[in-house]
Amino acid sequence: MKRMGAILAGLFMLGASALAKPLEIYFIDVEGGKATLIVSPSGQSLLLDAGYTNFSGRDADRIAAAAKAAHVKKIDYMLISHHHSDHEGGVPNLLERLPVGLFFDPGPSVETAADQQRTYKAYEAAMAKEHRQVIKAGDTIPVKGIEVAVVVADGKHIERALNGKGEPNPFCAGIAPQKDEIPENARSAGVVVQLGKFRYADFGDLTWNKELELLCPENRVGKVDVYQTSRHGGESSKAIYGLAPRVAIMDNGARKGGTPEGLRVAKGSPGLEDLWQLHFSLPGAQDSNAPDTLIANVDEPCEGKYLRLTAEPDGAFTIFNSRNKYTKTYPAR
């Protein structure tokens, strides 16, 4: 009888394992803006930014399509990394298509340019009817089934290493600060998402100097499996090499981000297995871009294809290109 009980328990555990859902991350093409949909094994969702407004609601439609593919009918949490039109502009359009449970952002905009204020005022008007909180470095976003740690926000970073994973960063030597950085980019909220051994980092449009503050001389984040490039594949310091990502994802557009230097730095990360891109970069030229199989959109007028990552608690993950159905699995190590 005891033996039969043990067999049944084993079969139950095997069945539960087979039914366990992975973490899913959809890197949505918003033409050089940003919108990344994270779906926990619990089914709860987190959307990082919402792309642009206008274009007949193009970006909100693409987010809604990704949500449908992920069987998501509601965005449980949304993080606006900073108040630029390519990150918060799509919020009013999105709310016409999907409800959002709770918004997070790093506080009021610090830029006063007319085009910036136009988008920001539209966002503020939308927030009048929504639940909203200001996010700070050290906070967590309570998505069930995964850990979402805010490592930087409003120009401030975590002081203590995340989960004890910090370590000296040997790539900081000789990197000098830059001048005249864009103020709102410097306030970007960035997160590390973790499921078991799998770790993914996204720092929004965090600037060169703020990267140095977060990662030098101690890398407070630790190593990650996947890193989403800052500023859509613009120039980043080699301090990011301390993250030791296996894969980098570049949310560039055909003519935005994906600069030759940004591509070179991203591809040069020691131990990097692959760089995946949302677009072929025209400024980057043929020899700088990733192989065609790893690019979601190869033509400038495009269909808005996405990349989808699925991750397991043991650290294994798979990336799927919706344009050509190419799939690559990165085994646990």
Give dist(CA 134, CA 136) in Å, integer: 7
What does the DSSP assignment read for 24-36?
Answer: EEEE---TTS--E
Sheet of 327-330: strands edge to edge? 132-134, 100-105, 75-79, 45-48, 36-39, 23-27, 307-311, 317-321, 327-330
Longest dimension (CA), the chain: 76
Total domains in the chain come to: 1
Kindly report whether the global pTM for this prediction surpasses the value 0.75.
yes
Condensed to tens digits (0 to 9), the pLDDT of residues 176-210 reads 999 989 999 999 999 999 999 999 999 999 999 99
Does residue 286 surpass a pLDDT of 90? no
Give dist(CA 125, CA 25) in Å, integer: 29
Condensed to tens digits (0 to 9), the pLDDT of residues 59-87 reads 999 999 999 999 999 999 999 999 999 99
CATH number at residue 306: 3.60.15.10
Only one residue has tokens 């619990």, namely 42
Residue 13 falls inside a structural domain = no
Instruction: Classify strands 75-79 and 147-153 as parallel, antiparallel or unpaired.
Output: unpaired
Residue 3 falls inside a structural domain = no
Give dist(CA 254, CA 313) in Å, integer: 34
Give dist(CA 13, CA 136) in Å, integer: 39
Does residue 90 surpass a pLDDT of 70? yes
76: left (phi over 0), alpha (psi -120 to 50) or beta: alpha
Q: How far apart are the first and last CA of the chain?
A: 39
- Residues 239, 168 contacting (CB under 8 angstroms): no
Residue 10 falls inside a structural domain = no
Residue 8 falls inside a structural domain = no
Residue 317 falls inside a structural domain = yes
pLDDT recorded at residue 96: 97
Condensed to tens digits (0 to 9), the pLDDT of residues 14-62 reads 444 445 899 999 999 999 999 999 999 999 999 999 999 989 999 999 9
Residue 316 falls inside a structural domain = yes
Q: Which domain holds residue 109?
A: 22-330
